[in-house]
Structure 1
Amino acid sequence: MLKILELFGGIGSPRVALRNLGIPVKSIDYVEIDEKAVRSYNAIFRGDLSYKAQDVRGWNLKPDILIHGSPCQDFSIAGRQCGADPNSGTRSSLMWETISIVRNMGLWKPRIIIWENVKNVRSRYMVHNHERYMSELEQMGYISSYALLDARDFGLPQARKRIFTVSILGGKEFDFTHLKKKANDQYPGFPGKRPC
């Protein structure tokens, strides 16, 4: 069973996705500040441990996969595009907390780190933070790759484009082409006419 740590966990969408794929998964901890999201998460995963808004810094956690989707508001075109420079105090700069948490895990590290965010993280004004994020992980032994994925290509009736960055410890780049091909095989004709 895969052990996951969910930072900026929202309502637990990545965990639901893993569950829907039939992957046995256990959340060893979940961190989210929004109380409504926490209530939704607890309702979705009723029967598992209940969580509250919390902080995992200083905890001795050993997840196989760390999943985070740090706040997007300061990257987003819809926001003020304040950015995510370290120590800037913006919500999006919380991505550096993830780097700090991984660094402070010591010798033991998660095998995989997955970060999801808005496509504007690759804009000319924001790309330096994404590049630095991948560089910081590379210094800790991770190989990172990223792709822009659209929810419509995976059978969801919503135009939702997001950058997914997958970082593998001591491994090789994640093959997004395989993932996209699988989506095309499963949902032929997407994007386009949706099945009923």
Structure 2
Amino acid sequence: MSDDLFDPEDESGGEEKPAAGKKKIGFLPAIVIDILKWSAIVIGAIVFIVVVVVITVRAMGGGARADTSRLPLHSEYERGGAEMLDWFSQIGDVRGTTRDEVRRTFIVTPHIGYRPESDATLQELIRREIQIREAIAIYFSSRSIRELEGVENRLRVKQDLREEINRIMVNRVRDVAFSRYEFIEF
């Protein structure tokens, strides 16, 4: 044996060996088999991920459909219950302190309800926003915490504020509601 790489003695009788990248398995080239194999792996991974997400969402209750059969129709609201109103919400937070010996800070966010067909009321609410804001601040600042806290007091506050706002305005408002109604002791 010689040290030469191209020694003719090592070659097998005239049979050609296929190149490394051009191997054939059956009737398909190896590259096609590799592409099909990786495609199957990617599709399997996607199916696995989708199944895990669906099971997780259902287990957490996110896939449950809302039961709308219990919701009253619009006509049921009109027949009874609360009046359907549009709400003026541009006043924002009103802050101040109560008249207590140990002052408490109040933070309220009022919304004023008016009839939907009354564009004049909306325009007046916009023009009188500062006056309304001031009336609300004065109302809360002139009361003690005993007069403001609790469900009954909150209902009375809503009624008093509605009457106070209607004294300021030409057009009538129908309701006052709060998205924030807090009293903080310092």
> TM > 0.5 between the two?
no
Q: Where is the helix percentage greater, Structure 1 or Structure 2?
A: 2
Q: Whose radius of gyration is greater, 1 or 2?
A: 2
TM-score by length of 1: 0.19
The normalised TM-score by structure 2 is 0.20
Relative contact order higher in (CA < 8 Å, ≥ 6 apart): 2
